[in-house]
Amino acid sequence: MAVTWRAVVLAALGLPVVLLVPATGTVLLWALLVVVACAVDVALAASPREVGVRRDVPASVRLTEPSSSTLTLSHLGRRRLRGVVRDAWPPSSGAQVDRHRLDVAPGEGARVRTVLVPTRRGDAHADRVTIRTLGPLRLAGRQASLTVPGRLRVLPEFASRRHLPSRLARLRELDGRAAVQVRGPGTEFDSLREYVIGDDVRSIDWRATARRSDVVVRTWRPERDRRVLIVLDTGRTSAVRVLDAPRLDASIEAALLLAALATKAGDRVELLVFDRKVRGRVASATGARVMAQFADTLALAEPALVETDWPGVVAQVRQRLSQRALVVLLTALDPAAVEQGLLGVAGQLTERHQVVLASVSDPEVDTLRTSRDSAAAVFDAAAAERVGLERAAVAVRLRQRGAEVVDALPDDLAPRLADTYLALKAAGRL
């Protein structure tokens, strides 16, 4: 049951009548008239429960990109169906207009499209489809909410992909395939070519030169087919907000950029999402499927309010990696948490693998550190200074154990991590 604005107008039309015949009976009669008219309209309205509803949703969409949910309605009743249908989605799905007018003859169908511009990563589950049918007078009608399943997976935005072209150019330089022939630093033998002026004389291959009439140099290229394991920490420190997004979101961006870059560089990338247990993993994916699987797995990564189990991480890494690999820990350089957890087990990781710890730092701390507005601000500045010193000290202790530490603002983390990867690759430390 629902009434429309027309019923209100009908009730209001009683005002002049009451002015003409001012009696309580007039009001009662008019109220009766409104009730009867509405009841008749409801009785003549098509049943919202005699409509077949199907909802079509794309499997996934990238954050901030528009998508749409399509409702296909087939009218099974005998009366003409006039009314409204609402395709309900959670607020973060960004449904622009989710109400649509309907006017369907018996036996026919209609298709309505709701544009969704999601504003949050993760699975968005559609709510009910509500159909309100109106009677011929459109005074009142019937309403029913149907449970029609629908799910839209919102993938991470991957805004850091704008950094990818420049890093790929650097990678090509390393590979020795760039237009500018800088001798590719690396440790893996690539090929022999003729000496040109400017080449390092130390790279001349005398044995090959002796076989041919020309002077021949060896070229090197960075190693390929190395393994990269990205460990995303979804423990309590990842839930903290930095600027306007959880720390986890910046880590996800960094993971995606690194995965794209390493895949292009010919390395095998794996992902482990972990806090106290494995929340998601990508392993043994190759080629184009790597990015799709990364996006799919990272879409569902949510911060959990638990302390990360670092010995568990080490056990997982041991289980997954038999040979030397690059292990990237996307976590927070939170002095207390690191001292309690990671520091104790960092040695076990670094003795077998190259470890990079990437952490999102908070620009607010820098703002606090430089504020001098009041006595309270100076105390805050002192606290910020102390936090900065402690972070630096923890970073130093991690470096002493052989780990690389990348501590950057949310927007800088992805490119900084990519640069670190390239530097390690160039130095042949993978």
Site for other proteins in 51-80 (CB under 8 A): 51-62, 65, 70, 72, 74, 76
Between 120 and 281, CB nearer to other proteins: 120
**Which residue is listed with tokens 């649509």?**
100
Minimum CB separation of residue 5 from other proteins in Å reads: 6
Residue from 3, 204, 343, 409 in contact with other proteins (CB under 8 A):
3
247 binds other proteins (CB under 8 A): yes
Range 104-107, long-range pairs (CB < 8 A, 24+ positions):
104/73, 104/75, 104/80, 105/75, 105/80, 105/81, 106/75, 106/77, 106/78, 106/79, 106/80, 106/81, 107/75, 107/76
Closer by beta carbon to other proteins, 60 or else 219:
60
Decide: is 289 part of the binding site for other proteins (CB under 8 A): no
Q: What token pair was written down for 179?
A: 């237009």
Nearest-approach distance from CB 205 to other proteins, in angstroms:
41
Look at strands 227-233 and 326-331 and give their pairing: parallel
List 39, 40, 92, 266, residue binding other proteins (CB under 8 A):
92
Question: Using the rule CB under 8 A, is 102 a contact of other proteins?
Answer: no
Residue 382 in the binding site for other proteins (CB under 8 A): yes
Which residue, 31 or 169, is less far from other proteins as judged by CB?
Answer: 31
- Using CB under 8 A as the binding rule, whether residue 387 contacts other proteins is answered as yes
307 binds other proteins (CB under 8 A): no
Give the 3-state secondary structure of residue 371: coil
By CB under 8 A, residue 44 contacts other proteins: no
Q: How far apart, in whole angstroms, are the C-alpha atoms of residue 142 and residue 163?
A: 54
C-alpha torsion sign, points 268, 320, 275, 398: negative
Alpha-carbon gap, residue 77 to 165, rounded angstroms: 57
Q: Does 409 bind other proteins (CB under 8 A)?
A: no
Query: Do residues 87 and 112 make contact, with C-beta atoms less than 8 angstroms apart?
Result: yes
Which residue in the set 81, 88, 110, 262 belongs to the binding site for other proteins (CB under 8 A)? 88
**123 part of the interface to other proteins, by CB under 8 A:** no
The single residue listed with the structure tokens 């009908």 is 10
Provide the 3-class DSSP secondary structure of residue 417.
helix
Q: Which of 241, 264, 289, 318 binds other proteins (CB under 8 A)?
A: 241
- Which tokens belong to 113? 């499209």
Distance CA 232, CA 330 (A): 5
Per-residue contact string for residues 166-205; x = within reach of other proteins by CB under 8 A = ----------------------------------------
Chain positions 129 to 148 lying near other proteins, rule: CB under 8 A, are: 129-130, 132, 143-148
**At residue 104, what are phi and psi to the nearest 5 degrees?**
-125, 130
- Among 303, 313, 316, 329, which residue interacts with other proteins (rule: CB under 8 A)? 303
| Residue nearer to other proteins on the CB measure, 124 or 216 | 124
Residue (55 or 193) nearer to other proteins, CB:
55
Does position 86 interact with other proteins (CB under 8 A)? The reply is yes
Binding region for other proteins (CB under 8 A) out of 120-128, 168-176, 193-201, 205-213 = 120-128
Which helix or strand (DSSP H or E) is residue 251 part of? helix 247-264
Q: Which residue has 């076989």 as its token pair?
A: 211
Our CB check for other proteins shows the closer of 63 and 282 to be 63
Q: Which stretch binds other proteins (CB under 8 A): 29-37, 182-190, 196-204, 312-320?
A: 29-37
Give the range of 81-89, 252-260, 320-328, 343-351 binding other proteins by CB under 8 A: 81-89
Please give the Cα distance from 262 to 282 (Å, whole number): 14
113: closest CA among 67, 60, 46, 157? 67
Q: Compose the 340-379 pattern: x for residues touching other proteins by CB under 8 A, - for all others.
A: ----------------------x-xx--xx--x--xx-xx
Of 56 and 351, the one with the shorter C-beta distance to other proteins is 56
Other CB atoms within 10 Å distance of the CB of residue 361: 22
User: Where does 234-347 show beta strands of DSSP type E?
Assistant: 241-242, 245-246, 268-274, 278-282, 326-331
Token pair 């106290």: residue? 276
Instruction: Indicate which single residue of 94, 184, 186, 246 sits in contact with other proteins (rule: CB under 8 A).
Output: 246
